Structure 1
Amino acid sequence: MAEDFDLVKIMESGLEGAEYNKAKFPGLVYRIQNPKAAFLIFTSGKVVCTGSKSVENAHKAIITLANTLKDIGFDKIDLDPEVHVQNIVATADLKTNLNLNTIVMALGMENVEYEPEVFPGLVYRIDAPKLVVLIFSSGKLVIAGGKIPEDCEEGLRIISTEFDNLGLLS
């Protein structure tokens, strides 16, 4: 967004909800409600936007942040910053209980990690699109790593098809 952000200046501007404690975290945390998002703002001028429910809302939130920073005296802010989506996280529900031990046996260990004493979900890696899917015995999934929403949709299709072919879905 800009070069060399003075995070203390942002805090002192009275930006409501901003949190900055350099000893705990090197960036400033700022949250907005409309659209709902949280930002990690770094002295380098890099900004990470998290928590948006859609790519469109992330873009709107970033423009809102740019305007807010301009309003508090950061004159060199680009009001139409370049945005790079790095990681989309989606959830899904297969609406059936799953036996994760059976899934591990059926899929083999190539793209699967399952250590129930460490983490209650099965970790399944998909190569194309490059995704990680957390699979829980409740049938709920967390699909992470997508660059576009369609990546996550494809991940769900791959899992559903594979589980259906293995007879794991009712």
Structure 2
Amino acid sequence: MTTSEQSLEREDAVTHSPTIENVVASTGVGQELDLDAVAEDLDGTEYDREKFPGAIYRTQDPKSAALIFRSGKIVCTGAKSIDDAHESLNIVFDNLRGLGIDVLPHPEIIIQNIVSSGDLGYPLNLNAIAIGFGLENIEYEPEQFPGLVYRLDDPDVVTLLFGSGKVVITGGKNPTDAERALDVIASRLDELGLSE
């Protein structure tokens, strides 16, 4: 395989879109809730205040879990897209309205975190990367954890790099953050001659 073919193969591996694994979104209903009553009246809700301070309500389509707190705050986790997070929370809002709880027509939904996974398409020498990327943005303790933690400023995300070439991106607020992070990492690896 020629050098240009290897370079094209690497570009193809990096340019495929990362996969969203989890979207975490938060919202609120603007009032305190009686979680005992919510758990009793809302089918499929789990609530055990000894184990967790919120009630857990799971939606099936789209699949997610809404953590409902006494304060009226709600956190949606497990959604596979921003649209799914919004749809799941709208289901929760409708169900709470069905219980007679006064929920605003369009509560603000804030995306807190998007966790994505990607693959650079080639194995990584994590020791060389730790040295090459500079220790100020890196955490790498292979005895503690098999991945290298790399914090980026732009986009503002935390990435976990693994020797297999797999990458987990967390802290994103927008789906494009993961793509940009993979591009930044691939460029830095190329600059340092570590992309083979």
TM value normalised by structure 1? 0.93
CA contact (8 A) 1:63 1:81 kept: no
Give the counterpart letter for 1:9 in structure 2.
A
- Choose from 101, 118, 134 the match for 1:108: 134
Q: What does 1:83-162 correspond to in 2, within 5 Å?
A: 83-162=109-188
Q: Which amino acid aligns with 1:7?
A: L
- Given that residues 129 and 151 in structure 1 are in contact (C-alpha distance below 8 angstroms), is that contact kept between their aligned partners in structure 2? yes
Separation in 1, partners of 2:33, 2:42: 16
Contact 2:120–2:182 (Cα < 8 Å) also in 1: no
Higher RCO structure (Cα 8 Å, ≥6 apart): 2
- 1:49 matched residue in structure 2: 76
**Alpha-carbon separation, structure 2, partners of 1:40 and 1:120:** 31
Provide the alpha-carbon RMSD of the alignment. Answer: 1.2
Unmatched tracts of structure 2, length 5 or more: 1-28
Deviation of 1:14 (Å) = 4.5
Equivalent AA in structure 1 for residue 49 of structure 2: K
Gaps of 5+ in 1: none
Conserved? CA contact 2:42–2:95, under 8 Å: no
**Normalized against structure 2, the TM-score is what?**
0.82
The offset of 1:42, in angstroms, is 0.4
Sequence identity percentage:
48
Aligned length: 168
- Give, in angstroms, the shift of residue 147 of structure 1: 1.2
| CA distance in structure 2 between the partners assigned to 1:27 and 1:14 by the alignment | 14
3-state secondary structure, aligned to 2:112: coil
Q: Is the 8 A contact 1:112 1:122 kept in 2?
A: yes
Give matches, 1:31-70, under 5 Å.
Answer: 31-70=58-97
Give, in whole Å, the separation in 2 of the partners of 1:67 and 1:132: 35
Residue type of the partner of 1:43?
Answer: R
User: Of residues 15, 30, 34 in structure 2, which corresponds to 1:6?
Assistant: 34
Q: Is the 8 A contact 1:120 1:136 kept in 2?
A: yes
Distance 1:64 1:164 in 2: 46
- Pick the structure with more strand per residue: 2
Which has the larger displacement, 94-103 or 38-47?
94-103
Q: How far has the Cα of 1:86 moved from its partner?
A: 1.1
**Distance (Å, rounded) in 2 between the aligned partners of 1:142 and 1:106:** 20
CA deviation profile, 1:69-88 (whole Å, cap 9, x unmatched) = 111332x0124211111111
